[in-house]
Amino acid sequence: MSVETVEIHAREHDSFLEEVHSFEFWFQSVEGYLAGHPYGVDPSTPIPDLDEEEKATLIATLSTYCVGELAALDGAGGMIGFAPNRQAKIFLATQAVDEARHLEVMLHRLKELGVTDSQREFESRANRNLLAFRKRLLEFVDAKDWEASLLAQNVILESMEFAAFHSHMKTADPRTAQMLSGVLKDERRHMGFGENDLGRHLAQAPHARARLREIKKELDALVLATFEDSQRELGTPASERPEIGRLYLETVARLGFDS
């Protein structure tokens, strides 16, 4: 075997990516907040006493989240097959487990709320705009379109979840808030991957930006319509509804993908 001759800066960056996109790095990251927290919650946290209306609202909200997490699981799993390198494949494998865990902890919380068939429950409540988003994401994945899939999955969908969970945490009961806190930590990692990979890709292929802008415009409409539908269903006053949409757009813009 010959002596390694890779340019020093490139090698350092590659080594960095190899480390942060590894199983080892993932496990060290999640272990801190998942150890001793079965289903994302410290077992000593009391089960809150919610009235029927609060319970119904939380069930509706968690059911919508489950649809988003299922889309994210299918998306992350499907992208592994055409990810451009081993590090990206390994990162997406960690993301697939994260997304499956999110769905699991949410279904578990639904069970705590008395939902007996939580899977059927969330599927029957699926928002049509969120379903349209899922369909579009999986079309990009089926077409093995890496940049569009990454934008839809790791920028748009993750930012949508980030905005929704972040807003919800402010008013959530302690068990739900703890569960969402762990989920948010994962989402930050996923958004970081999307920002980093897509950012590097666009630096090398700036012409792709115009196409991604069009895709973002199309998906933004579905995200904002999902928020609007969900908030109307939950009885949020019309004056307060734009807040979560604004948070979503700000999050996407912070990742470098503004309109």
Query: Which residues bind to another protein, rule: CB under 8 A?
Result: 1-6, 11, 14, 22-24, 27, 31, 34-35, 38-39, 70, 73-74, 77-78, 80-81, 86, 89-90, 92-94, 96-97, 99-101, 103-104, 107, 119, 138, 141
Question: Is the distance from CB of 215 to CB of 151 less than 8 angstroms?
Answer: yes
Least CB distance to another protein at residue 154 (A): 16
Q: Which is nearer to another protein, 26 or 165 (CB)?
A: 26
Give the C-alpha separation, 35 to 44, whole Å. 14
* Structure token pair of residue 147: 């940049």
Q: Which residues are within 8 A (CB) of 165 and not within 5 positions of it... i.e. 6 or more apart? A: 65, 180, 183, 184, 187
Least CB distance to another protein at residue 186 (A): 12
Torsional sign, CA 20, 220, 82, 78 = positive
Least CB distance to another protein at residue 133 (A): 16
Least CB distance to another protein at residue 150 (A): 15
Q: Which is nearer to another protein, 187 or 220 (CB)?
A: 187
Q: Which is nearer to another protein, 48 or 77 (CB)?
A: 77
Q: Which is nearer to another protein, 86 or 232 (CB)?
A: 86
Give the C-alpha separation, 155 to 79, whole Å. 14
Q: Which is nearer to another protein, 35 or 238 (CB)?
A: 35
Q: Which is nearer to another protein, 83 or 198 (CB)?
A: 83
Q: Which is nearer to another protein, 120 or 217 (CB)?
A: 120
* Structure token pair of residue 175: 């068990």
Give the C-alpha separation, 34 to 41, whole Å. 8
